[in-house]
Chain A
């Protein structure tokens, strides 16, 4: 076989170029830390990776949604809690007012505080967070509870409170396929009217009406009337507590979701890393090996240039 100088050059040059190309790939892996830097590095792996990254992005979005909902659910929970506090205070006042030692003047005094409590309860029922009235259903841009007017003493007249929101539940997906309700039906919670017929359901109370009736009885110095309101306050209180339990359940599903999402995120990160990240130990060892190969190739190249028959002829 004839071997010419050009053949040697071509072969060594080809090998050196191939070694450089391999080295460039390995260096890219070392510097980016990624095994797959473009789909063609491993088309199947890249497909798997795209799926995993998509899923991870989805998880990140759900996590964002969950934390955004916390404010709203928290506002609901505290509004219901504080409404209950209002009823507890009203109960104390009712017990006070039902006491036989009170006279008309002191009952009128108590009535004034009851009127204030009525206002506080109305404020709680119209709670707003981030521009949203949480008890208003879909009609969330306006106060859902509207009082017919102020308390007036001559003649003694308590306002009635009407619900102008709607009873739709605002539901949000917090995990794939899992939706939670992040609003509370204000008519059911405060007016005791779950079926929407305009009057409290059996065993339920319109808590505004309860306070109005208490005020009326106090203003009328009607001791028996005041005493009659007491069990209704208890029922209203239980009704708000029930709503609050439901919201508490939502809150704890947010907690569980957040936990599950973060666990899932960790799992996905591990999978993404397994599929897409470079094994640095191997990359570095490849790098050393390929550098040595390149140097050997370059050394061989230098050698060919030097040796020829002419060196040995005088």
Chain B
């Protein structure tokens, strides 16, 4: 046994302690870094040295630096990111539709609808040659209903375009993230081959994957050499080994609203396969649902409203006679329920002259019977035309036009309420998960500072050993 050996033990203590300060410092420096996992030293006693028939301790060694993570937490966070991303996109689409249909401000659809029927009633109450004033009012009320429908329809279709634009703009970011994951995969694999796991690169990769999950619902699987594979929910690989398959926007010629609307394709060499139906979550999935389900349904809601108003008014109107003897439709009857709101217009005869409005069953100026019947349509219940019905064969529930409008608004209200409560729940779940992750992996300053105090004491103690050995050696030297 030599004093030099003891010196060596103390030296290893000093070195490990200094490395410990470095690790604690690294943790403190990254206290605000998103997704940073705290690191800790893996320490072990150095292999003992045989001395006679005893084993003497050989000091301390640092085996490595590990991140403190729960491998299952990341999966849960990814799932939560995807559902929240999707729900947020859907909720904002629904809130927008609610704003379009809900009718607090004047000039809304509900009041335009009521005004048309009121103008029929005014015409009935004052059927006279002087009713040209009321006839003009009927025509302008109808025109303003048409304008309102066109405006709201255009607004909703613009929002579809916006959602589509967001989908298309998100795809390059997805591809960038996929390439980033692949690159980090390679660096991590090289580093783990060299024997030292790249903790900080893994954290970086987790960050990329989480952003990816908030865009598209992806799954992550452990690959070889510390790599991860990224797949879609159905197992189709996006990142496998050093292979990346990119997502591309594919124009959908069958889209009933705009043939340029994008579907999501997976680029597989020269082939592109349609994977739109595989994307259920993430903001892209939410935008797809917003565009193709929620906004599309709202547009069709306006369409059914327009078609039913036109069909019902026309049916009664064509039974009467205008002041100028004209017999015919009031609205140009839309060809189909689909796009009826966009195509709704007054019949050419009505546009040409308000005298073509059939206030009476005869052209007699005082005959108000048909106007009375038109006014009564406001509350008249009949089967509603729904998308796909042809004129004369309505297959929907029995409702008045106003009831139909109210049910559209209520349905959207229920959906918005449901979706925003889902959003609140998912935000809370994500917060809980983030907290659980932090509980395991987050940097606690108190803990790190306590650790620094410990390290300081350890460093001082090791230094004390060295100075003691030094004095012993001095004593030995002085003896000579």
Tell me which of B126, B130, B410 contacts A46 (CB under 8 A): B410
Q: Is the CB of B128 within 8 A of A39?
A: no
CA distance A1 to B436 in the complex (A): 10
In whole Å, how far is B36's beta carbon from the nearest beta carbon of chain A? Answer: 10
Give every chain B residue within 8 A of A6 (Cβ-Cβ).
31-32, 438, 442-443
Give every chain B residue within 8 A of A50 (Cβ-Cβ).
110, 405-406, 409-410
Near A by CB (< 8 A), chain B positions 394-447 give 402-403, 405-407, 409-410, 412-417, 420, 427-428, 431, 434-435, 438-440, 442-447
Q: A6-B442, A54-B402, A58-B379 are in contact. Are A68 and B126 (CB under 8 A)?
A: yes
In whole Å, how far is A21's beta carbon from the nearest beta carbon of chain B? Answer: 9
Q: Is the CB of B449 within 8 A of A310?
A: yes
Q: A14-B431, A131-B129, A140-B128 are in contact. Are A2 and B410 (CB under 8 A)?
A: no
Give every chain B residue within 8 A of A179 (Cβ-Cβ).
372
CA distance A166 to B402 in the complex (A): 37
Q: Please indicate which of the listed interface residues A11, A38, A57, A313 has the most CB atoms of chain B within 10 Å of its own CB.
A: A38
Residue of A nearest to B101 (CB): A39
CA distance A132 to B127 in the complex (A): 8
Near B by CB (< 8 A), chain A positions 49-91 give 50-51, 53-54, 57-58, 61-62, 64-65, 68-69
Q: A10-B435, A130-B130 are in contact. Are A308 and B446 (CB under 8 A)?
A: yes
Q: Is the CB of A40 within 8 A of B130?
A: no
Q: Is the CB of A5 within 8 A of B104?
A: no
Q: Is the CB of B413 within 8 A of A40?
A: yes
Residue of A nearest to B447 (CB): A2
Near A by CB (< 8 A), chain B positions 349-367 give 360, 362, 364-367
B159 within 8 Å of A (CB atoms): no
Q: A46-B409, A168-B364 are in contact. Are A38 and B444 (CB under 8 A)?
A: no
Residue total for B at the interface (Cβ-Cβ under 8 A) = 66
CA distance A155 to B375 in the complex (A): 56
CA distance A140 to B364 in the complex (A): 8
Q: A2-B439, A58-B379, A65-B122 are in contact. Are A140 and B365 (CB under 8 A)?
A: yes
In whole Å, how far is A264's beta carbon from the nearest beta carbon of chain B? Answer: 15
How many of chain A's residues touch chain B, expressed as a range?
Answer: 35 or more
Residue of A nearest to B110 (CB): A50
Q: Is the CB of A308 within 8 A of B420?
A: no
Tell me which of A2, A7, A139, A172 contacts B368 (CB under 8 A): A172
Q: Is the CB of B445 within 8 A of A310?
A: yes
Secondary structure of the B side of the interface?
Answer: helix
Q: Is the CB of A7 within 8 A of B435?
A: yes
A176 within 8 Å of B (CB atoms): yes
Q: Is the CB of A43 within 8 A of B439?
A: no
A97 within 8 Å of B (CB atoms): no
Near A by CB (< 8 A), chain B positions 217-242 give none
Q: Please indicate which of the listed interface residues B413, B431, B442 has the most CB atoms of chain A within 10 Å of its own CB.
A: B413
CA distance A68 to B407 in the complex (A): 33
Tell me which of A44, A53, A61, A139 contacts B366 (CB under 8 A): A139
A153 within 8 Å of B (CB atoms): no
| Proximity bits, B114-126, A CB within 8 Å = 1, else 0 | 1001100110111
Closest 6 CB pairs of A and B: A39-B413, A131-B130, A140-B366, A138-B364, A40-B416, A132-B128
Interface CB pairs A-B, < 8 A, 29: A2-B438, A2-B442, A5-B444, A5-B445, A6-B438, A7-B438, A14-B431, A38-B98, A39-B102, A40-B417, A43-B410, A44-B410, A47-B409, A50-B409, A57-B118, A61-B121, A131-B131, A132-B129, A132-B130, A137-B364, A138-B364, A138-B365, A138-B366, A138-B367, A171-B369, A171-B372, A172-B125, A309-B445, A313-B453
**Further pairs besides A65-B125, A140-B129, A140-B365: 8, Cβ < 8 Å:** A5-B444, A6-B438, A10-B434, A41-B413, A54-B402, A58-B379, A141-B366, A168-B366
